[in-house]
Chains A and B, each alone.
Chain A
Amino acid sequence: MKALQITQYGAIKDSLAFNEIDKPTIQANDVLIEIKAAAINPIDKSIILGNLQDLLPIPLPSTISYDVSGIIVEKGDDVTNFEIGDLVYSRVPQEQMGTVAEYVAVTSLAVSKKPGNISFEEAASLPLAGLTALQSLEYAGIKANDKVLIHAGSGGVGSFAIQYAKSKGAYVYTTTSTTNVEWVKALGADRVIDYKTEDYKTIVKDADIVFDTLGQNYTTEAFEVIKQGGKVISVVGPLDEATAHLFGMADYKLPEELTALSKAKAAEYKFIFMHPNGSHLADITALIEDDKIKPIIDKVYPFSESIAAFTHLASGRAKGKIVIKIN
């Protein structure tokens, strides 16, 4: 089958190539998905550039990307919750990475039926960003009337998080640039802050939750706007100690500055490492079918132009998700 593979670490155009490889074989718990669409994410760019070699070692060459939608064409003997012919989507686990291809084998635990009211391309855009937002905001215990600050509301994770928080009845602040203010407002955000003309730190006070999707100074600044006892959830900042220990970094300590800030506000700092989960994905299916959340797609590329899709991703200018139509 045809697959887009990372052949070396480095610049996108030098490191990706279409290769003819064997169709994956399935284990007892796997389904084989005939891929209709794949979506790409910032993590793919980091992998290609080699920034994640230590954390996520992969053999080279490897087929790239994690988000997929398609049709189940084979299933392992132990798979009971899916049938051949089911239309599904998934964020495939690290060890099964490779969705910019014609087929992918995925453990059925990471798969859900796709929402019936959206296309394959829209469905493929959801898993990684959606699970990241859902698992982050659920960890924070989001509930009605919570004041939530979501950074980068126009991004893949941010645009989903805004809609998810609104579906829970929260009051949502979000930051974005001038050109995106209107469409981010249309996603349901209550207060859209144009970071080019406004300082969010003077607008957001006593937030129950800050969802940090930007890192660096935004992670520390979160403690200026969080309420006493609030929760700062980050998907890009430093690891928290419990998460680091899970990854085997026994001596890891949270940077002192964050420890002090967190103590001063009695606010928890938590790094969320998104994990593939079919039942969380099924919750997303229900939200999509109930029209509580809409997929936001920036652009769909044909399979043959996948490398251009990655170049577009690397530009960092996408509004919503970049999708590759495979078949």
Chain B
Amino acid sequence: MEELIQTIKNRIDLSPEAENYFYSISKEISVPKGSVLIREGQTVNKVYFVKSGCLRSFCTDKSGKEHTLQFAIKNWWISDYIAIHNNELATLTVECLEDSTIIEFNAKEVNGILDLFPEYEPFQRYILERHVVSLQKRILNQLQLTAAERYDLFLEQYPNIEQHTKNYHIASFLGITQESLSRIRVKKANK
């Protein structure tokens, strides 16, 4: 939690009261590999900040195959924001790919910070903009880059991620088959 507070303090002046509020609404938890934090079809009211480990959000299509939307490693946030924003049931599943330490927040209480401590607003905006940037990049990359280029960018964005994930997680993030991913890796290794 200290790291998260420090990250916030690096950007804005956080009052001791606001800091206390943060502590009061958060809960640090250790979650073992394989745990499911958000389950497709159920209600969602939590958002998670990753302190260590690796989480993944994915949806399952009608045929039963998974499509990875996001990986979350140290200092990333993860949840099903569609479900929270629209007050709908989850369309995503969020699972731990390895033993992780996360900080859990109630989504409403996080938003409540803005009413109680307006000075927090620039940080909230920063987080949101960073998230929008990341999503826009992901969409544009998907539209215009080759699979090999997307894979390179992916490795830049998520260093060492391959230690934590299965190949199919990465293939399903890039929108390619596992065979294509293997071919890309072989080509890269032979360069």
- Taking Cβ atoms with an 8 Å cutoff, the residues of A that contact B are 36, 69, 83, 85, 87, 114, 116-121, 123, 289-291
18 contacts between A and B (CB under 8 A): A36-B64, A69-B64, A83-B36, A83-B39, A87-B60, A87-B64, A116-B168, A116-B172, A117-B65, A117-B171, A117-B172, A118-B64, A119-B63, A119-B64, A119-B65, A121-B63, A290-B167, A291-B167
Interface contacts beyond A69-B64, A119-B64, A291-B182: sample of 14 additional A-B pairs, CB < 8 Å, sorted by A: A36-B64, A85-B39, A114-B64, A116-B58, A116-B60, A116-B168, A116-B172, A117-B178, A118-B64, A119-B63, A120-B64, A289-B166, A289-B168, A290-B168
Most chain B CB within a 10 A radius of its CB, from A36, A83, A121, A289: A289
Closest chain B residue to A290, Cβ basis:
B166
A291 lies within 8 A of B63 (CB): no
Q: Which residues of A contact B99 (CB under 8 A)?
A: none
Given A36-B64, A85-B41, A87-B64: A117 and B168 interface contact (C-beta under 8 Å): yes
B166 lies within 8 A of A120 (CB): no
Q: Is the interface of B mostly helix, strand, loop or mixed?
A: mixed
Closest chain B residue to A123, Cβ basis:
B64
Q: Which residues of B contact A85 (CB under 8 A)?
A: 39-42
Q: Which residues of A contact B60 (CB under 8 A)?
A: 87, 116
Q: Does B66 contact A (CB under 8 A)?
A: yes
Q: Which residues of B contact A121 (CB under 8 A)?
A: 63-64
B residues 1-52 in Cβ contact with A at 8 Å: 36, 39-42
Residue A118 contacts which of B58, B65, B179 (CB distance < 8 angstroms)? B65
Minimal beta-carbon separation of A300 from chain B (angstroms): 11
B41 lies within 8 A of A291 (CB): no
Closest chain A residue to B36, Cβ basis:
A83
Minimal beta-carbon separation of A87 from chain B (angstroms): 6
B63 lies within 8 A of A116 (CB): no
Minimal beta-carbon separation of B186 from chain A (angstroms): 14
Closest chain B residue to A117, Cβ basis:
B168
Closest chain A residue to B166, Cβ basis:
A289
Closest chain B residue to A113, Cβ basis:
B34
Closest chain B residue to A115, Cβ basis:
B168
